[in-house]
Each structure stands twice: as C-alpha cells, then as structure tokens.
Amino acid sequence: MTSPKHPSFAPEKTLDPTDWVAFREQAHRMLDAAVDRMETYREGSIWNPFPPALQANYQGPLPVEGIGAEATQAHLTALLPFGVGNTHPRFFGWVHGSGTPSNLMADITAAAINANLGGRDHGAMYVEKQVMNWCRELFQFPETSSGLIVSGTSIATVIALKAARDRCFNFSNRKTGLQQNALGPLVGYTSEQTHSCVARAFDILGLGSDALRKIAVNERFEMDTLALQATIAKDRAAGLTPFVIVGTAGAVNVGSIDDLETLADISKAENIWFHIDGAFGALGVLSERLSPRLSGIKRADSLAFDFHKWLHVNYDAGFILMRSEEDHRRTFSERPEYLKGAERGLAAGNPWPVEYGPELSRGFRALKVWAQLAEHGTAKLGALITQNCEQAAYLGELVEAHAHLRLMAPVAMNICCFRYQAEGQDDKTTDALNGEIVIQLQIQGIAAPSTTLVNGRNAIRVNITNHRTTRADLALLVQEIERIGLELTALS
Ligand SMILES: Cc1ncc(COP(=O)(O)O)c(C=O)c1O
C-alpha cells in the first residue's frame, strides 16, 4: 500500500512462509523424522558423541543472510540422534526423566499458540491454573496455597528460600536489602546428602553458602534429626537466626528420604520455615510403595519438584508449591503501571504469575504437564514409579548375588549404588576402575550410569527414572560391568 507522503513504500516483509503448502509438507517431513527417532529409541548406541563434521555446523559466523527453510530443516533433522541418551531404556545417569512421544503434541500446540504466561487473560492461563490445582490436590496443600511452573527444582528452590528469607523480615528487606538487618546472620539446615542447588540458592540470595549447615546423616543416609536440633540450639545461643530447614525427599546420591514428619515437628516447634527438595522423590506420592514415607510433604511450607524427572514430561518443567499464597505473593509482587491488571479485557485474569516468581515472560510449559497427566492419569504414572523402585531393588539383589559387585548403600527408592571389586585390589585402584567401567559403558554405547562418592568411595550409580527400562536391561548392565571389569583388571 502506498501513502501520499511516501509513494515509494516497499512491500512489508514478514517471517511467515510465502508458500504455506510447502511449509505444511516440510512440517510433516519433520514430524516423520521426529517420530522415526522416537520409535527407535531402544536401537543403537545409547550415546553418540557429536561428530566433528556436525560440530563444524555450529562454529560459523553470525549469518547475515539466512540459509532458508530447507537447509535449516536439514540441520534440525541431523541433530536428532545426538541427545544425551535419556530416551534410551538403559540411561541411568544423574536423574533424567525419559520423556514421552505423546508430549510432542503438547509442544507442537504450545509452539503454535506461542503464548506468554507472565499474565493476562487467555486460554493457556486456565491450563496452568488447572495444573496448580492438581498439584495442590496431589500434595494435600490447602486452598490458600499457591504455585508456579518453572524450569526446574534449582530455580524453584531459589523462589522458596527467598520467601522463607523475606518472611523473616516481614518482607521489608525487599526494599532495604540485607546490608543492615535487625536479625543478624540468617542460617539454614539441610543434610550432608543435599543437592548442590540448595547451597547455590543461599549464594544467589546473598546469604552465602556458609550459612547453610549440612547436618550429618544416619546409616540410611537420612538427616540425623538429633544433630539438627543440637545445631539449631547452638546457633541460637550464638545469636544467629535459624530461618529454614530443607528436608530431602529423594536424595540425589542414594535416593534416601529424610524423616519428613520429624523435620516438620522440629520446624513447627522452632518456628522455622520447612522446605522440601522433592526434585524427583516428591512424585512418589503417586506410588503406593512410596507414599507412606512421604506423608510429611503435606506439612511443608514449600515444596520444589520436577515434572521432567519422574513424570517423564519432556524437558523442562518443574514446580514450586507454597503453603501461603500471601507469603508467596509478597515475596515477588511488583505491578508497575504498564503491567496493571483490569477487571475485563486482556489485562484481566488476576493475579498474574509474574507476582509469584522472578520471570515476566514465561512459556507454556503447563501444557505438556497437563497433557501428560490428562493422557496417562495418576494411576499409571504412579505404577511406573513403583516399577522403577522394584527394578532398583532387583538390581540390588543381582549385585548382592554377584561375586565381584558390592552394594554401597541401601536401595531406598530408585537408586542403586554399587561397585566392582576385583580380588586383592585396594580402594584407590577400585575407585579408578569403577570410574573407567562407567566411561566404557557410555563410550561403548551399552548403558549410561553415572558415578558418585558414597562414604568417600567411588560408586557406579544407577538411577532409574525411566519408563522404558526392563529387568532384562538391568541384567545386561550387570553382565557388561562384569565383562568390562574383567577386561580392565586383566590389563592392569
Ligand atoms: C534431589 C535433587 N534436587 C535438586 C535437583 C536440581 O533439579 P533441576 O535439575 O531440575 O534444577 C536435582 C537434580 O537432579 C535433584 O536430584
């Protein structure tokens, strides 16, 4: 269109396809390639190092002229085999969920809608509210609780501990900062088995990681609650202000569950915020086998957990659940004039998620969580959690029956830590041998456990948050560890 003032206006540009038929065909081809990849998850190597030829594709200069849709799609398709391996049935490393093919539909829908869930009144917000209400129901939190979908437990922990910290100052510190606070140094408590994200949250919140006391654990790797009480008393006597106890429902090293009921009792008696890191373990409430040990969750002030771990939602999706909506909102709420709500129209839908966390722009993670729960239901998802625990127990039995394998910790949940022990080998050599066994399993594309230290010694750590794993996969793992162990010992 021309203008009297600008008769030579050029036609406007857009990023939309000029040929929608061609785009549709291209999208179908991409979908086929993605489904082919998913249908063959069990086949081939568990992990394929990224070839130098493909690495080179990601080392070029910033493109001034684009390469176009076809060439871009060729790059996307070429990436498909080079994931971390967590979609394979024998991926046992760290704590990775395995995802589901059907979650792709939610991701396609979310990409097509391209919603921003910082606030406002639109369909996506109702989906997130439904997920929030489901979480409330799942963990038996009151009507007055609140929550937010986030990328994962690390950021959920920061949000929770900020609320715990700010409540100590009746939220005045949000304006005045912590430089001159009337309470003196704040201190918090967790177990020696805690995940590093808790200390990181202390650091991010300006408290310093030294302010986090790591309480010793018992022989089951659960926090020693007597030691906790003694440390709190000592800190109070020294003029410090205890402000949070962080319990763990599923510790990352060995899967232990703290005595959450006792921690809730201590928090109540001491008037200290009770937070639970339930990154993977909290969803054990869906499993008949685990739920009795997780009864203390419903007493927490805040709970951080992930949908991308034991609910197998595609990466990434975590959640922060807060007992007090008011505390939660007062920790983050800030509504400048350009974000003002309204009774009607698009700016309605109060309160907005931006009032419950640090982010304004937020993607539609809620949809894939909703879709996973809606399609599969809690009964099936819970049964899969039980299945993984039974598989870990089965692996523990295989280990105990094996001449060269030693169990390093009780199998409390879904994690089995053990090591290969060659005859007459000292601890240090055995540490190195087990590290090498794990690397060989990964490089040879057989299985992907990770390693950790248990009581100071290197262990092969098998975490099963994988709905594709079978007992046959675990038998194969043991067989291959034996083979590699023998080969490496013969070489040394
Ligand atoms: C017990 C525990 N807490 C926290 C985290 C951090 O979670 P995320 O990676 O989702 O930030 C993990 C990750 O494995 C974990 O196992």
Q: Is the pLDDT of residue 1 over 70?
A: no
User: Is 211 a residue whose pLDDT tops 80?
Assistant: yes
Among 84, 195, 258, 305, the mutation site with the greatest number of ligand 1 atoms within 8 A of its Cβ is 195
Q: What is the mean pLDDT of residues 6-23?
A: 91
Q: How do beta strands 450-454 and 186-191 pair?
A: unpaired
Work out the average pLDDT over 348-373. Answer: 97
Establish whether residue 258 lines the binding site of ligand 1, counting it when its CB lies within 6 angstroms of any ligand atom: no
Measure Cα distances from 150 to 324, 327, 344, 438 in Å: 18, 18, 27, 32
* % of the chain with per-residue pLDDT over 90: 96
Return the axis-axis angle of helices 260-270 and 225-237, rounded to nearest 10°.
20
Alpha-carbon span 347 to 485, nearest angstrom: 63
pLDDT of residue 491: 87
Say what the pLDDT of residue 179 is.
83
According to DSSP, the β-strands at 405-407 and 415-420 are: antiparallel
Average pLDDT, the chain: 97
At 340 the pLDDT is 94
Per DSSP, 294 falls in state G
| CA dihedral sign of residues 336, 342, 346, 351 | positive
Is pLDDT at 112 greater than 90 in this prediction? yes
For residue 441, the model assigns a pLDDT of 98
Give me the residue spans of the domains in the chain: 20-46+49-82, 107-376, 377-491
| Record: fold of 107-376 | Aspartate Aminotransferase; domain 2 (3.40.640)
85 burial type by CB count under 10 A (0-12 exposed, 13-18 middle, 19+ buried): buried
How large is the average pLDDT for residues 94-118?
98
pLDDT band at 455 (very low <50, low <70, confident <90, very high): very high
Q: Is 479's pLDDT higher than 80?
A: yes
Average pLDDT score over residue span 66-80? 97
The verdict on the CB of residue 280 being under 6 Å from ligand 1 is: yes
Could you tell me the two tokens for 364? Answer: 């539609």
Protein residue closest via CA to atom 16 of ligand 1 = 252
In the reported structure, the alpha carbon of residue 75 is separated from the centroid of ligand 1 by a whole-number distance in angstroms of 31
Tens of pLDDT, residue by residue over 135-166, are 999 999 999 999 999 999 999 999 999 999 99
Query: What confidence category does residue 182 fall into, taking pLDDT thresholds of 50, 70 and 90?
Result: confident
Q: How far apart are the first and last CA of the chain?
A: 79
Index of the ligand 1 atom closest to the CA of residue 154: 11
Tell which one of 150, 155, 252, 256 to mutate to probe ligand 1, the residue whose CB is within 8 A of the most ligand atoms: 252
Q: What is the structure's pLDDT at 204?
A: 98
Residue 248, amino acid: T
**CA 154 to ligand 1 center in whole angstroms:** 6
**Of 91, 95, 190, best ligand 1 pocket probe by most atoms within 8 Å of the beta carbon:** 95
The whole-number pLDDT of residue 492 equals 79
Whether residue 95 has its Cβ less than 6 Å from ligand 1 = yes
Residue given tokens 């959690």 in the structure block: 385
pLDDT of res. 98: 97
Find out if CATH 3.40.190.170 is the number for domain 377-491. Answer: no
Q: Can the peptide bond before residue 351 be classed as cis, meaning omega within 30 degrees of 0? A: yes
Is 152 touching ligand 1 by the criterion CB < 6 Å? yes
Ligand 1 contact via 275 beta carbon (within 6 Å) = no
d(CA 121, CA 115): 11
pLDDT at position 2 is 59
β-pairing verdict for 318-322 and 146-150 = antiparallel
Other beta carbons within 10 angstroms of residue 286's beta carbon come to 22
Residue 4: its pLDDT value, please? 72
pLDDT confidence of residue 366: 98
Q: Degrees (nearest 5) of the Cα angle 10, 15, 19?
A: 95
Query: For residue 306, which atom of ligand 1 is closest to its CA?
Result: 10
Pocket test for ligand 1, best of 94, 197, 277 (most atoms within 8 A of CB): 197
138 CB contacts (<8 Å, ≥6 apart)?
285, 286, 378
* Residue 396 Cβ < 6 Å to ligand 1: no
Residue 103 CA to residue 312 CA, distance in Å, equals 9
Contact 141, 323 (CB under 8 A): yes
Averaged pLDDT, 230-244: 97
Which residue carries 């598989």 as its tokens?
391
